[in-house]
Amino acid sequence: MIHKTADVKSKNIGDNTSIWQFCVVLNNAVIGKNCNINCNVFIENDVTIGDNVTIKPGVQIWDGLTIKDNVFIGPNVTFTNDLMPRSKQYPESSEKTIIEQGASVGANATIIAGITIGHYAFIGAGSVLTKSIDPFTLWYGNPAKRHGYLTKEGIILNLDLLDKSGAQYELINGEPIIK
C-alpha cells in the first residue's frame, strides 16, 4: 500500500509494505516485504531496508544506510552519513552505517555515520550514539553509554546479566541466555 500523497520512485519494494502520507522514496532504494514506513519519511538512493522493518514518522534514511530485518526505528531518529559536512561540498561516497537484525532505535536518537548497531541491540530515546555497539546491548544517554543487555525476547538485564527478578543470564556467543 502506497498512500496517494507519497512520492515513491523505487520499484524495489516488497510485498505487503505500507508507505504512508508525504513520504519520499528515491529510485534506487530497496525496501523489503511487510515493512511499515510511517508518514513524513525520506529514503535516499543508496539504502537497503530489510523485511518487517518499522520506521516511525519524521525519519530521513540517507545514502549509505543498511537496515536489516525486524528493526524498529522510532519517531524523529536522526541518521548522518557525512562526518565532515559542508554546504555545497559533497563527499565521493557516503559513510556506511548498518543496523543489524532485530535492533531498536528509540525516538529522537542521533546515530553518527559509519557505525554498526549489533543485532537485537537497543538504543534509548534521545541518545547520541557515536560508536559501533555489540549485539544484545542496551545503550542510552548523551553520549550513549552501555547500561545493560537485552535478550532476544526484550528482557532487560543489568551489566551483571541479571533481570529485574534476579534471574542470572550468561553470554553464549554474545547472546544472553538464562542459566
Torsion from C-alpha of 10, 15, 18, 23, nearest 10 degrees: 0
Are the C-beta atoms of residues 161 and 169 closer than 8 Å to each other? yes
Q: What's the CA gap between 48 and 25, in Å, rounded?
A: 12
> Residues 96, 134, 137, 175: is their CA dihedral positive or negative?
positive
Q: What's the CA gap between 50 and 128, in Å, rounded?
A: 24
- Give the pLDDT score at 92: 83
What percentage of residues in the chain have a pLDDT greater than 90? 92
Q: What is the pTM of this model?
A: 0.94
The predicted-structure confidence for 30-73, as pLDDT tens digits, reads as follows 999 999 999 999 999 999 999 999 999 999 999 999 999 999 99
| Domains, the chain, ordered by start | 7-150 (2.160.10.10)
